[in-house]
Amino acid sequence: MAISKQDFEKLKELVRDICGINITDDKFMVIERKLESFLSIISSQNFNEFLEKLALPSGFLLREKLIDVITTNETLFFRDVHPFETFSTIVIPRIEDLLKSRTDLSEGKFRIWSAGSSTGQEPYSIAMLLNEYSEKKKTLSPDKIEILASDISSSVLSRAISGQFNSSQIKRGLKPYFLDKYFQKSGNKWVIDEKIRNMVEFRRINLIDNFSILGKFDVVLCRNVLIYFDTQMRKNVLEKINRVLFDGGFLFVGASEIIMDFESQFSSERNGSTIFYRKKLSETDSHPAIQSL
């Protein structure tokens, strides 16, 4: 079924309302192709009827399926390598120091959020690094670590929760050391160590929604997600992320994503090839223990 330009515009608006993703015009052919098989699965011949069903409150499952069709879930272990080196060498020791003086609601926990975690390679990479650190330093106890990983797509989340990866996923980004230490072969799958799997809590969170109930975080990774949003949505999400970060908390975005026009909320810092951001101290709620690096 061919989709008219007019229908494509309606779909773009609907997708923006559902998840903030900005479908650009150059994606027309790709989306048309993806939707064709999707529409045949749900046996809808009429695009308007499909759009109406999607917009209904009862269209939840249909919207879930559409999200799976629309989202790009590309990810890999230790993606871009250098941000994870920065995480190990700069962020963990710095937060560990801060935890000693913290007397707030986090109960001295080191809280990390991987927002837009896809099939789990990003939060599991973080969990392996934290486990390495706590084994070597003994000063950071695993029960002090909380890793939340979220995505809008329930299907990628269930794959992440399974902790199972196929051989092509395993070949991407994992050094032999991590593969040998943290994965077990089971049939044609590789299963991540239960200890690492249990370090990560997965939840479905749409970044378009209010997420202040999640509490405060020391580190937020929102990598290769903002690129799919338009300027306004990006701005909203960054403001909300700023609010859930502790003063001085760290934000990592994708290697090709640069945060501009947020000087009042974030300062940017560089470590080698990594640019990362830190929440600026709020004037009313400053934390004397936090200095810049």
Ligand X SMILES: C[S@@+](CC[C@H](N)C(=O)[O-])C[C@H]1O[C@@H](n2cnc3c(N)ncnc32)[C@H](O)[C@@H]1O
Q: Is 274 in the site for ligand X (CB under 6 A)?
A: no
Q: Is 268 in the site for ligand X (CB under 6 A)?
A: no
Q: Which residue in the set 118, 164, 169, 274 belongs to the binding site for ligand X (CB under 6 A)?
A: 118
Q: Is 222 in contact with 239 (CB distance < 8 Å)?
A: no
Q: Determine how many CB atoms are found less than 10 A away from the CB of residue 204.
A: 13
Q: Which is nearer to ligand X, 145 or 156 (CB)?
A: 156
Min. distance of Cβ 256 from ligand X in angstroms? 10
Q: Which is nearer to ligand X, 127 or 140 (CB)?
A: 127
Instruction: Using the rule CB under 6 A, give the single segment among 39-47, 55-63, 149-157, 243-251 that binds ligand X.
Output: 149-157
> Under 8 Å CB-to-CB from 199, ≥6 apart: which residues?
127, 130, 131, 142, 145, 147
Min. distance of Cβ 157 from ligand X in angstroms? 9
Angstrom distance (rounded) from CA 84 to CA 21 = 27
Provide the mask over 205-234, with x wherever binding to ligand X is found by CB under 6 A and - wherever it is not: -xxx--------------xxx--x------
Q: Which is nearer to ligand X, 122 or 218 (CB)?
A: 122
Instruction: Using the rule CB under 6 A, give the single segment among 13-21, 135-143, 160-168, 241-249 that binds ligand X.
Output: 13-21
Min. distance of Cβ 266 from ligand X in angstroms? 19
Q: Total number of residues binding ligand X (CB under 6 A)? A: 25
Q: Which of residues 15-74 bind ligand X (CB under 6 A)?
A: 19-21, 71-74
Q: Is 118 in contact with 124 (CB distance < 8 Å)?
A: no
Q: 138-158 burial string, b = 16+ CB within 10 Å, else e?
A: eebeeebbbbbbbbbbeebbe
Q: Which is nearer to ligand X, 66 or 140 (CB)?
A: 66
Q: Which of residues 150-169 bind ligand X (CB under 6 A)?
A: 151-153, 156
Q: Is 122 in the site for ligand X (CB under 6 A)?
A: yes
Q: Is 271 in the site for ligand X (CB under 6 A)?
A: no
CA angle 167/169/164 to nearest 5° reads 75
Q: Is 75 in the site for ligand X (CB under 6 A)?
A: yes
Min. distance of Cβ 111 from ligand X in angstroms? 17
Min. distance of Cβ 88 from ligand X in angstroms? 17
Min. distance of Cβ 13 from ligand X in angstroms? 15
Q: Which is nearer to ligand X, 50 or 202 (CB)?
A: 202
Min. distance of Cβ 119 from ligand X in angstroms? 8
| Binding interface with ligand X (CB under 6 A) | 19-21, 71-75, 79, 116-118, 122, 151-153, 156, 206-208, 223-225, 228, 254
